[in-house]
Structure 1
Amino acid sequence: MEDPADTKLTCRESDVLRLLALGLSNRLIARELDISEKTAKNHLSSIYVKINATDRTQAALYARHAGLISPGEAALSAPASIPVPLGDAPPGGPTLTAREQGVLRLLALGLSNRLIARELGISEKTVKNHLSSIYVKIGATHRTQAALYAQYVGLVS
């Protein structure tokens, strides 16, 4: 991903990216900004090109790195079903196995299922099974929420 100083996002694109990093779906981003879902998708496509991201997870991580969202802001706006530790408090959430933590860490770094499988020497199907288990345990509904959770609990910085 590019350095934040090199990227020229419009104000609207910054708003869309910030909401994406908070874990909002395209529908919720559109509602929040009073735009159509199609417009939100178009903004996201433009953002992906500008920041050299391939998916929502990489874009959300970029937003955190670029300072568009602070950890406290993310914690306050995260869905209630995801246990998010505030500050330096230890996570009071679910216990993930060592393998699940490894999968979640790699997911939070922006790796695809295929690359996670390669890195860990397991099949893509096994990665999908681990992700399903992780989602249930942490209350996430998609990769971006899981990646943000990994950051909250300190699996990645």
Structure 2
Amino acid sequence: MQEPPAAKLTSRESDVLRLLALGLSNRLIARRLDISEKTAKNHLSSIYLKIGATDRTQAALYARKLGLIGPRRNATSTPASVPASAPASIPTSVPESPRVPEGDASPTGPTLTTREQGVLRLLALGLSNRLIARRLGISEKTVKNHLSSIYLKIGATHRTQAAIYAQCVGIAS
């Protein structure tokens, strides 16, 4: 993924990108910003083009790298990247890290198998299930099973959350 300067994004595109990185769907992004779902999709298309992303996961990782979202932000303070004109409904902090089920808790987080770490690393690079399967020499169904297990262990509900988790714990490098 290319990394052109973030200055190319309009303030509205930054808002859309921030909400996308928080894991919101196009519908919820549109509701939060009081725009139509079609407009949200158009903003996302423009964002992908400007930052060189091909999917939501890459865009979310890019937003994190820019500091549009980040771990342990204070919910009462507004980060510098939030424009003063931003609607009050735009979250300025990231929800807490996904919760680890009590039985799997360890000082470094949940225990992922070597294969699960490999799947998570490739997911964080933006690869589809099909490409992950090809790269690892396993079936697509096996990739889906590994992802289900990963999501359960790290408390994620979708790919973007898992990719952000992988970056936070250093698996995505």
Could you say which TM-score interval applies, normalised by the shorter chain?
Answer: 0.7 to 0.9
Larger Rg: 2
CA shift, 1:7, in A, is 6.5
Q: Distance in 1 between matches of 2:107 and 2:46?
A: 37
Tell me how many residue pairs correspond in the alignment: 151
Letter in structure 1 aligned against 2:94? S
1:78-93 alignment runs, 5 A limit:
78=95, 82-83=98-99, 90-92=107-109
Which residue matches 1:119?
135
Q: Does 1:98 align with 2:111?
A: no
Q: TM-score scaled to structure 2, two decimals?
A: 0.74
Report percent identity of matched pairs.
79
Q: 1:73 to 1:156 in 2, by over 3 A?
A: farther
The CA deviation string for residues 21-56 of structure 1, in whole angstroms up to 9 with x for no partner, is 122222332232222222212211221122222210
Q: Give, as a single letter, the amino acid of the residue that structure 1 aligns with 2:49.
A: V
> What is the alpha-carbon distance in structure 1 between the residues aligned to residue 3 and residue 153 of structure 2?
34
* TM-score normalised per structure 1: 0.81
Partner of 1:56: 56
Equivalent-residue separation in structure 2 for 1:56 and 1:152 (angstroms): 17
8 Å CA contact retained: 2:69, 2:94: no
Alpha-carbon distance change, 123 to 32 in structure 1, aligned in 2, over 3 angstroms: same
Deviation string 1:73-121 (CA, Å, 9 cap, x unpaired) is: 49x52367x128xxxx9444x3221111110111112112122112212
- Secondary structure of residue in 2 paired with 1:69: coil
Greater per-residue helix proportion: 1
Q: Please identify, of 1-10 and 45-54, the stretch whose mean Cα deviation from structure 2 is larger.
A: 1-10
Point out where structure 2 has 5 or more consecutive residues left out of the alignment. Answer: 75-92, 101-105
> 3-state SS of the aligned residue for 2:121?
helix
1:63 and 1:77 map into 2 onto residues whose CA distance is: 12
Find the residue that maps to 1:100 and give its secondary structure: helix
5+ residue gaps, structure 1: none
Q: Is the 8 A contact 1:7 1:50 kept in 2?
A: no
Q: Look up the match of 1:144.
A: 160
